[in-house]
Amino acid sequence: MKTPKRIQPLMDDGLVDEVISRLMSGKEADVFIVRCGDEIRCAKVYKDAVKRSFKKAAQYQEGRKVRNSRRARAMEKGSKFGRKQQEDTWQNAEVDALYRLASAGVRVPKPYGCFDGVLLMELVTDDAGDVAPRLGDVGMTEDQAEEDHAVMMQYVMRMLCAGIVHGDLSEFNVLVDDYGPVVIDLPQAVDAAANNNAQAMLTRDVENMKNYYGQYAPGLLNTQYAKEMWDLYEEGELHPEYPLTGECTEDDDDADVDAVLEEIKAALAEEEARLERIRVANEE
Ligand SMILES: Nc1ncnc2c1ncn2[C@@H]1O[C@H](COP(=O)(O)OP(=O)(O)OP(=O)(O)O)[C@@H](O)[C@H]1O
Ligand SMILES: [Mg+2]
């Protein structure tokens, strides 16, 4: 096909030899199948900030590290330079997350770098070479759903161990190849330790997976992986091979309720005794 304008610089630099076809036109990016030498790869071309819902980005960017202070100030001010920097941070966030997750034992497309707002990565395919379908487009047996859900929970846990929460995990951002689920679409990945919304995002990610696989394996609908993971993470006990159960031990809240009830009872008894003393005193 005709080379899209945004990919031309990569052609000029010899990073891409041919654009084969457009795979998908998403809200935030256009995705192409490209040829690099004798390898077929995937090129994700980010759309401009104006074409994306940029307000939403604020929630995700909280706590994102910007090393250069001039850059941090510019981003705060929202100046033109700032917006350009924010855009770069956003785009680099996905390639950074891909590298970090690949080395943390999470299956993601292998990244080849991000150049001029174009992310080059492995094209996820099935064994026949066809582009892998999204999780939302495949059906499965109950056993398969349970198995894949367990794999996904391990991936979410490993991401958390690497300090990352996906933030937009759903059946549309997971591909399925012959070996199982592959996590994609990470530009909004958040820093688990620095972002105040991290726990809420982790919970939403885990709920999405639970509800999706739960359609095929209803037994999953009672599991509580998000709470289990977050509690362990906060206690510093989470590690990449932790054997998650999806069950949560009764926490102290219940005990606290009992303690409060005991206190109320004691206060009522005390008040009764006080009234009784007054009554007795009045009678004397
Ligand atoms: N590495 C890949 N291999 C195969 N297909 C891919 C790959 N990356 C993306 N895709 C396809 O392109 C689609 C869009 O990619 P992605 O989710 O990363 O971008 P997006 O702009 O955020 O899309 P959306 O707004 O639809 O979520 C995916 O749903 C998937 O079908
Ligand atoms: Mg997506």
Residue with tokens 């610089």: 9
Which pLDDT does position 55 carry in this prediction?
A: 46
- Residue 258 known to be catalytic: no
What pTM was computed for the model?
0.80
At a CB cut-off of 8 Å and minimum separation 6, what does 227 contact?
203, 248
Which pLDDT does position 247 carry in this prediction?
A: 92
Q: What is the pLDDT along the chain (284 residues), one digit of tens a residue?
A: 999 999 999 999 999 999 999 999 988 899 999 999 999 999 999 987 654 554 455 666 666 666 677 666 666 665 666 666 666 666 788 999 999 999 999 999 999 999 999 999 999 999 899 999 999 999 999 999 999 999 999 999 999 999 999 999 999 999 999 999 999 999 889 999 999 999 999 999 999 999 999 999 999 999 999 999 999 999 999 999 999 999 976 555 556 677 777 778 888 888 888 888 888 888 87
Q: What percent of the chain has pLDDT over 70?
A: 82
Active-site choice (143, 185, 251, 256): 185
Which pLDDT does position 262 carry in this prediction?
A: 79
Which pLDDT does position 283 carry in this prediction?
A: 81
Locate 123 and state its tokens.
């094209």
Which pLDDT does position 273 carry in this prediction?
A: 87
Distance in Å, CA 271 to ligand 1 centroid: 66
Q: Is residue 48 exposed (0-12), middle (13-18) or buried (19+ Cβ within 10 Å)?
A: exposed
Q: Is 134 in the pocket of ligand 1 (CB under 6 A)?
A: yes
- Residue 205 known to be catalytic: no
Which pLDDT does position 166 carry in this prediction?
A: 97
Distance in Å, CA 36 to ligand 2 centroid: 23
The phi-psi region of residue 172 (left if phi > 0; otherwise alpha if psi is between -120 and 50; otherwise beta) is: alpha
Q: Are 105 and 158 in contact (CB under 8 A)?
A: yes
CA–CA dist 189, 96 (Å, integer): 10
Q: Are 22 and 31 in contact (CB under 8 A)?
A: yes
Q: Is 109 in the pocket of ligand 1 (CB under 6 A)?
A: yes
The residue nearest atom 18 of ligand 1, judged by CA position, is: 185
The residue nearest atom 16 of ligand 1, judged by CA position, is: 185
Q: Which fold has domain 8-234?
A: Transferase(Phosphotransferase); domain 1 (1.10.510)
